Amino acid sequence: MKKELWLKHYAAGVPAEADVHAFASVRHMFESAVARYGSQAAFTSMGTTLTYDDVERLSRDFAGYLQHDLGMVRGERVALMLPNVLQYPIALFGAFLAGLTVVNVNPQYTARELQRQLLDSGTQAIIVLENFAHTVQEVVAACGVKIVITTRLGDLLVSPRSWITNFVVQHIKHLVPPWSIDKAVRFSDILASRCSHELRTVELGGEDIAFLQYTSGTTGAPKGAVLTHANVVANIRQNNLWSGRHVVEGKEVVVTPLPLYHVLALLVNLLSYFNFGAHNILITDPRDIHGLVSVLRRSRFSVITGVNTLYRALLEDRDFKNADVTHLKSAVAGGAAVQPGVAERWKAATGVAIVEGYGLTETGVLACQPLDSSHWTPDVGLPYPSTEISIRDEAGAELPLGEIGEICARGPQVMKTYWQWPEETARAFTRDGWFRTGDLGRMDSSGRLKLVDRKKDMIVVSGFKVYPTEVEDVVKALPGVDDAAVVGVPDALSGEAVKLLVVSKDPGLLSDSILAHCRANLTAYKCPKHVEFRTQLPKTPIGKVLRRSLRETSA
């Protein structure tokens, strides 16, 4: 599609091309932001605030430990298994200052899921919240991880909140299962020791790997999307340009309930708004809607990102009407489509329309609606500066405007490869270098992109991707299961829910046993919400399950 379609609909001041080489690396962006906003608030969590200078000092201390005490060298991988706590940005920027590659890990992963990711990435060190250390304990010996660094929820909070929080979490709420890891080191001890070594500057460039960001990609097998510093810097600049005059540098307050290990919150909330000098309020447990509403009532926030489920939950909380929305400028949604009713209620309650964007783990943000949109629309907006979108048929030919086909993308934010998966990389790109998103969509005459369906059978639960093959493999490993298939079905709260259809060879096999097995081997959002027993599954002549037929009879 020709850029002229969408460029003429850009907001005033948004250029056609982004200055994607503004910084040589994410580290350089970090240093620039600290120099500009040093004494201003950078991150707040559970009542404790760190300034940009605080984050820089603590990150340098942690980087010195990684370099000198652990002997980690440029390009080695460090995993972050953390929710939205102050330790996350310190560990992230510390890793970049030390010249390392970050591997984000969902803290809710089961031992099987964690082991697979650590082995594939070749992770040498992992930082984990103590609540999840028992999972690391199960796999650390088999994964070649050299050091485990643990931290507690209250470790960076001011006293007495720090020790009170840690006591309550462990001894009152019992949220820390017993664990024992040989030679594990406490994150708080590392920072308290104030590394005496001078930090060795690592001259990172655009081709150095910033993140191995794991996704199931075009198949059910997990793959690490290689996001270089050039990819990440490009998307930071694109995000910043798209915000344009809508954002006042050094003045915005951003609420971050989406997990920072998710690409949207990572690239937009954390990195892009850090470059803007924003004050980022980290929400550790977004399921605590009452607690989130309390934050919104006192924070004078100007930006919030979320998914349909979160916005709906906020609207249904009786105290949300007392939230201070007088400074709100932007409410951004991603990961799953916003329901029209939720969008309408949000606009009525806040006076600000929800805007939707579109992107993938492999691409960062590709498109977004204008942030000053006066009303919600059922599209995902216009392609970003320096970004091209093409709608293509099965043969790879570009389709005319308005026709449905696979969304393909090209731009400086798009990854070049999957980590150690050349065959999958080749399948993910067209011969002329366009990334195949696997999503079906169409583009109108204004260049606005509309998502229609998913080419694959992916299910999206509250913005998180679930791939049927992975769930089916887990279920089929259970004795008594003869066959299994997984489809997505509509769900009023999460958008979609996982439905499992089982053919049993054991008359005594119950759905409770199947669900217990799933919970032991899958992250919660991947676990089936519905289980149905069938005598057989519809299949093609060559034995493939007809998921489309199952969806039609299961909706």
Q: How far apart are CA 265 and CA 464, in angstroms?
A: 13
Is 505 strand, coil or helix?
Answer: coil
Ramachandran sector of residue 386 (left: φ over 0; alpha: ψ -120 to 50; beta: rest): left
Mean pLDDT (whole number) for 451-459: 78
HSE-up of 168 (CA within 13 Å, CB side)? 9
Sequence ranges of the domains in the chain:
26-204, 459-554
Q: Please give the structure tokens belonging to residue 368.
A: 């977004």
Q: Please give the structure tokens belonging to residue 158.
A: 């001011």
Mean pLDDT of the chain: 93
pLDDT in tens, 497-543: 999 999 999 999 999 999 999 999 999 999 999 999 999 998 764 45
User: What class does CATH assign to 459-554?
Assistant: alpha beta
- Residues 69, 139, 71: CA angle, nearest 5 degrees: 15
Is 222 strand, coil or helix?
Answer: coil
Q: How far apart are CA 94 and CA 125, in angstroms?
A: 13
Q: How far apart are CA 18 and CA 249, in angstroms?
A: 18
Crossing angle, helix 52-64 and helix 87-97, to 10 degrees?
Answer: 60
Q: Please give the structure tokens belonging to residue 168.
A: 């309550």
Partners of 383 in beta bridges: 367
Nearest residue to 231 (alpha-carbon basis) of 384, 399, 79? 384
Nearest residue to 188 (alpha-carbon basis) of 163, 152, 161, 164? 152
Q: Please give the structure tokens belonging to residue 171.
A: 């001894």
Q: In what order do the strands lie in the sheet with 382-383?
A: 48-51, 41-45, 279-282, 253-256, 303-306, 330-333, 354-360, 364-368, 382-383
pLDDT in tens, 92-149: 999 999 999 999 999 999 999 999 999 999 999 999 999 999 999 999 999 999 999 9
HSE-up of 41 (CA within 13 Å, CB side)? 15
Q: How far apart are CA 520 and CA 500, in angstroms?
A: 16
Residue 85 pLDDT: 98
**Under 8 Å CB-to-CB from 497, ≥6 apart: which residues?**
461, 488, 489, 490, 491, 529, 530
Is 260 strand, coil or helix?
Answer: coil
Is residue 549 over pLDDT 90?
A: no
**Under 8 Å CB-to-CB from 173, ≥6 apart: which residues?**
none
Is residue 373 over pLDDT 70?
A: yes
Q: How far apart are CA 308 and CA 342, in angstroms?
A: 7
Q: Please give the structure tokens belonging to residue 509.
A: 């096999």
Residue 220 pLDDT: 57
CA 533 distance to own-chain centroid: 34
Is residue 218 over pLDDT 50?
A: no
Nearest residue to 394 (alpha-carbon basis) of 385, 403, 382, 384? 403
Mean pLDDT (whole number) for 420-444: 93
Q: Please give the structure tokens belonging to residue 45.
A: 């969590």
Is residue 474 over pLDDT 70?
A: yes
Is 153 strand, coil or helix?
Answer: coil
Nearest residue to 1 (alpha-carbon basis) of 326, 383, 342? 383
**Residue 503 backbone phi and psi in degrees, to 5:** -105, 115
Q: How far apart are CA 292 and CA 314, in angstroms?
A: 8
Residue 219 pLDDT: 46
- Residues 310, 316, 319: CA angle, nearest 5 degrees: 105
Nearest residue to 448 (alpha-carbon basis) of 20, 13, 1, 15? 1
- Residues 78, 31, 27: CA angle, nearest 5 degrees: 35
Specify the amino acid at residue 471.
Answer: V
Share of the chain above pLDDT 90, in %: 84
* Angstrom distances, CA of residue 194 to CA of 55, 58, 416, 551: 14, 8, 38, 57
Evaluate whether 464 touches 335 at the Cβ level (below 8 Å): yes
Among the residue ranges 91-100, 232-241, 387-396, 539-548, the one predicted with the least confidence is 539-548
Residue 494 pLDDT: 92
Specify the amino acid at residue 43.
Answer: F
Torsion angle of alpha carbons 104, 165, 146, 81, nearest 10°?
-10
Write down how long the chain is.
Answer: 555
Partners of 332 in beta bridges: 305, 355
Q: How far apart are CA 107 and CA 179, in angstroms?
A: 15
Q: How far apart are CA 548 and CA 263, in angstroms?
A: 29
**Under 8 Å CB-to-CB from 458, ≥6 apart: which residues?**
216, 438, 465, 466, 467, 468, 488
Tokens 């939230």 belong to 323
CA 456 distance to own-chain centroid: 20
User: What class does CATH assign to 26-204?
Assistant: alpha beta
Mean pLDDT (whole number) for 75-104: 98
Residue 253 pLDDT: 98
Question: For 321, which DSSP code?
Answer: G
pLDDT in tens, 17-51: 999 999 999 999 999 999 999 999 999 999 999 99
> Strand pairing of 382-383 and 364-368?
antiparallel
* Angstrom distances, CA of residue 439 to CA of 256, 409, 436, 460, 491: 27, 11, 8, 12, 20
